[in-house]
Structure 1
Amino acid sequence: MTKQELVTKMQDAGAFVPGKKVRLHFGDEGAILLDGQANQVTEDAESPADTTIKVNWNDWQAMAAGQLDGMTAFMTGKLKVEGDMSNAMQLQGVLAKLR
């Protein structure tokens, strides 16, 4: 799956945290913004977010496929959270919408 396909799939699934802006930053692959205020998913890497989740693209793909648990990824350092941790805790629900 490409990042653009992910954006489209997440937009169609309504995969965002209501009322919050959460950025998924994939390093060299860029970033996407789950904008729960505007109810949209975009490739916006610049505007402010309540929470930024840093994870490499391959680990994100494994999480989206259910092969890597988000908490395990966090505990092993594969996933880093900047900002409001409670938004990151809702990531499992966001991922569930993709399956």
Structure 2
Amino acid sequence: MAEISALIAAMEAKYDALEELGYRVRFDMKDAGSILLDATDGDVEIEEDESGEAEADTVLILTSDNLEKLIKGKLNPMLAFSTGRLKVRGSQGVALKLAGLLEEAS
């Protein structure tokens, strides 16, 4: 199980790519809690969402290990979605844009 602080640090390393997202995305991890990525207003804020209820345009549901693999480019987002390792609630377009930005930054 990946630590939330390590996942946040890995996302922060991709700050420049994530600036282009323009949306709020919550990562609900089945085994580790929740992270909110807020890339609105031309700024990027990434923080632990202790309530797991933060408002977001899209919610991605996956394990912390799969999130770590997505961030590092070791798991294809489309493969994760099609095999059930990644579930999307809300805008799938936002999820696709995020996936593309993460892949570019890898």
Tell me the TM-score normalised to structure 1 length: 0.82
Gaps of 5+ in 2: none
Q: Which string of whole-angstrom CA distances, capped at 9 and with x for unpartnered residues, describes residues 49-96 of structure 1?
A: 010000112222232333321101101111000001101101323423
The CA deviation at 1:16 is 5.6
Q: What whole-Å deviation, never above 9, does each CA across 1:16-72 have from its counterpart, x for those lacking one?
A: 653210011111201111101252111123320010000112222232333321101
Identity among equivalent pairs (%): 32
Q: Once superposed, what is the RMSD of the aligned Cα atoms?
A: 2.1
The question of whether the paired residues in 1 share the 8 Å contact of 2:21 and 2:98 is answered with: no
CA distance in 1, matches of 2:44, 2:89: 21
Residue of structure 2 equivalent to 1:67: 74
Stretches of structure 1 lacking an aligned partner (at least 5 in a row):
none
Would you say the 8 A contact 1:16–1:34 is kept in 2? no
Q: Which of 35-44 and 71-80 deviates more?
A: 35-44
CA contact under 8 A between 2:34 and 2:48: conserved in structure 1?
A: yes
Count of residues paired in the alignment: 99
Rounded Cα–Cα distance in structure 2 between residues aligned with 1:16 and 1:54: 22
In the alignment, the residues of structure 2 paired with residue 18 and residue 91 of structure 1 have an alpha-carbon distance, to the nearest angstrom, of 6
Which stretch of the first structure deviates more once superposed, 16-25 or 68-77?
A: 16-25
Q: 1:74 to 1:5 in 2, by over 3 A?
A: same
Aligned pair in 2 of structure 1 residues 97, 35: CA closer, same or farther (>3 Å)?
Answer: farther
1:40 aligned partner, one-letter code: E
Aligned partners of 1:87 and 1:94: how far apart in 2? 11
State the partner residue of 2:25: 22
Partner Cα separation in structure 2 for residue 34 and residue 3 of structure 1: 13
CA contact (8 A) 2:26 2:34 kept: yes
